[in-house]
Structure 1
């Protein structure tokens, strides 16, 4: 019964969007479609996390984009994080590839999704021209991918800060070293990136430290059991420098994983257009095979995460305190 209701609701949502395209966003629409149970912290930095979205409008990409716009308005969010696999199946060919319009600009066209997008590269992005996605930063006002890896510090109240480090996990991923399909990921020294990561984390006095990469270190989804190699490389660095959260995509679902004896929260947001199966594991706090995205709110003491599906439902809420 739940599955049937879910399908019918998705069909109705999809039909409504199709019938009214292009959607005209007005104040009345935001109020009518307000997302219940979606809140923010006082004096907070607010942002959305979406990944694995670039399916040229297919699957549930348009529905997720619509709810992303509603959530951005409702939370007065500051920016959007993209966890990679920005264009399927094979990235983009150039900064003038038509996919920029059909899979990005024309999909995320609401006024509140025209905030900054802080982007990382996924494995599918490397099957095309990864450099073109970096170069698009100079062409777009909102697309922020200045280099294959970079960092950004955001201000909170009382002169406190959030450090966000955006990684390119593709050259670090051990299994790609022997896969012909991903040879293009190996044209750079991953050790140079790891040294840079250590420097960024060690040199920051930010109250919160968050690292973003495409590949998860823990997964309750399709790739459960296949993350150990990357985890062995990155997890000791995250633990050593008291990173509070690691955010990834790659898995086409929404997850929150919390390994035992670790203070690092592991969030996965890869449901930007389609969904794959998940299963409860020993470290799973939440995992759902649903299209959607995450909403994150941070202030001086607390981080909250809400998982939102393509129907505008908050499916899960959690909070993390700075000292826990």
Structure 2
């Protein structure tokens, strides 16, 4: 009798619980005003976008909390698009365009009102454990998913200006030396690394953009787990980025938020790989900021400067830096 009573009570209360959960997702102007992000700087007449990486975990860890703050940031900044630094699906990428992970890790998690803007994505090493072409082909299925090739470029006009921002999206896995021998990364070996480097050089050399930003998965410098283990990627890419005066390089791979600036180097190195799980970091000689916290990075660009702000899953600006235009 007692068991039946408990079952009846459960059946009666469950719909109310579900209704409460559904209602908690409702957002209007009042919700955003009540959940304003602490210490966020909103620059007028700037182009705003977000950078997030290492997120595809079916809502586990802090993926949902980060998604919520991404929506909040998009509202307050009136941001126009989102960049992904890779590892879009853990642990082994996707199998096909119909893989349910596209729904459970992407569509259903980033379903808040202001996240239905263009996403521009690169491939991470975990994506290479699955069907890479499926992620490229999903571009034809989704209105917001943009990955037309393994590497590509886009150009954006700055607000109230004739100046432009060049965004170059690269595939860094071919430049990680150990992937050339590990069986789980056999798909990496189909990529012609030198062809991509030639394309990158030509793209940057021919650009007249005011700002040049390159986005890849693997960092060239890290204050985290892979400190001292980024040499092969750095050797391939850093000379090109320095030669053509790239302003910033955004990566993921490390599950944290970082800003690294190397003495006598021009490129600012940012890591935004804290889209779900996190792990420890340790300050190094080149570390400007490093924190093992889930979160996302926002970027605001105008002809005079670029403002980078890192926001935790709890909705606090935990770091910001302003980079002046070099020309």
TM-score by length of structure 1 reads 0.93
**Secondary structure of the residue that 1:158 maps to in structure 2?**
coil
In 2, the alpha carbon distance for the partners of 1:74 and 1:212 equals 24
Contact residue 42 and residue 76 of structure 2 kept, 8 A: no
Map of 2:122 onto structure 1: 120
Other-structure match for 1:20: 21
Query: Corresponding residue for 1:244?
Result: 247
Q: 1:19 to 1:315 in 2, by over 3 A?
A: farther
Matches within 5 A, 1:53-132: 53-132=55-134
Distance across 2 between alignment mates of 1:211 and 1:146: 16
Shift of 1:19: 5.8
Query: Matched residue pairs, number?
Result: 309
Given the alignment of the two structures, is residue 315 of structure 1 paired with residue 318 of structure 2, yes or no? yes
Residue 207 of structure 2 is aligned to residue 204 of structure 1:
yes
Q: Distance in 1 between matches of 2:210 and 2:190?
A: 34
Could you say which residue in structure 1 is the equivalent of 2:268?
265
Please, which runs of 5 or more residues in structure 1 have no aligned partner? Answer: 1-16
Unaligned runs of 5+ in 2: 1-17
CA shift in 2, pair 1:19/1:223, >3 Å: farther
Q: Which has the larger radius of gyration?
A: 2
Misfit runs of 4+, over 6 Å: none
> Any conservation in 2 of the 1:92–1:99 contact (CA below 8 Å)?
yes
Query: What pairs with 1:204-243 in structure 2 (closer than 5 Å)?
Result: 204-243=207-246
Q: Please say if 1:155 is aligned against 2:157.
A: yes
1:273-312 correspondence to structure 2 within 5 Å: 273-312=276-315
How far, CA to CA, are the matches of 1:133 and 1:158 in structure 2?
34
Q: 1:34 aligns with which of 33, 36, 54?
A: 36
8 Å contact 2:40–2:317 — kept in the other structure? yes
Q: CA deviation at 1:173?
A: 1.8
Q: Give me the CA root mean square deviation.
A: 1.5
Q: Deviations over 1:126-175 (max 9, x none)?
A: 11111100000000000000000000000013210000000000112222
- 1:78 touches 1:115 (CA, 8 Å); kept in 2? yes
| 8 Å CA contact 1:40, 1:46 repeated in 2 | no
- Pair 1:190 & 2:199 matched: no
The two structures have a TM-score, normalised by structure 2, of 0.92
